[in-house]
Amino acid sequence: MASETPHTGRLRPEDLFTLEAYARLRPAFRAQVMAHKAHRRLALGPHVTLYFEDRLTMHYQVQEMLRAERIFEPADIQAELDAYNPLIPDGDNWKATLMIEYADVDERRRALERLRGVEDCIWVRVAGHGPVPGIADEDLERGNDEKTSAVHFLRFPLTAAMIAALKGGAGLAAGITHPSLEISIDAVPEPTRESLVADLA
């Protein structure tokens, strides 16, 4: 595993705010996280989006779960950390939540049937290198023989050469190669590319 960056490294109980402290800090912390997340969202067409996760986004997610469920027992806090820490990148990969979003329920149902297996068809590509397919749902299977899920978790493993190229300014592309949805983003927006490069050790 690569060394840690400010965006990586597992969260520990001592990294979290108490419920009382978070009640005071939440407005400012939420504003910080929302501004950060804005550069970590990559739309692959109008209905499929990658939300790249990191230590800050997971810190926010854990704090929100603790707040919503009024969790304060150490064992229960650790259980939340155990659930969300795997979504923090390791310094040599990216981790993302893939969401398939349709406002209309019937349209979403039809799309999830049509896009069965799409989670295995998402890729990123560093300029000068081959595509890197995302590895989907390593914790549990979310699709089935009839439809895919609206939410998946992906990991994109990068080689040392890819990381060096990105740090040297190489461009980044992404897309989908599914029989029902072929999409290619030839140039990931620079603010997003820069945010993702910051994940890499």
Q: What average pLDDT does this structure show over 35-63?
A: 97
* Residue 1 belongs to a domain: no
- pLDDT score for 2: 58
List, as one string, the DSSP characters of 79-144: HHHHHHGGGS--SSEEEEEEEE--SSHHHHHHHHHHTTTGGGSEEEEETTS-EEEPEE-SSS----
- pLDDT score for 146: 87
Share above pLDDT 90 across residues of the chain, in percent, rounded to a whole number: 91
Average pLDDT, the chain: 94
Q: What's the total number of domains in the chain?
A: 1
Minimum mean pLDDT among 3-12, 99-108, 124-133: which range? 3-12
Write down the pTM of the prediction.
0.91
Beta bridge partners of 155: 95, 135
Q: What average pLDDT does this structure show over 118-132?
A: 97
Residue 80 has pLDDT above 90, yes or no: yes
* Residue 4 belongs to a domain: no
Task: Place 5 in a pLDDT band, splitting at 50, 70 and 90.
Answer: confident
Q: What average pLDDT does this structure show over 98-122?
A: 96
* Residue 8 belongs to a domain: no
- pLDDT score for 3: 64
* Residue 181 belongs to a domain: yes
* Residue 117 belongs to a domain: yes
Q: Which domain holds residue 49?
A: 13-197
* Residue 179 belongs to a domain: yes
* Residue 2 belongs to a domain: no
CA distance 143 to 109: 13
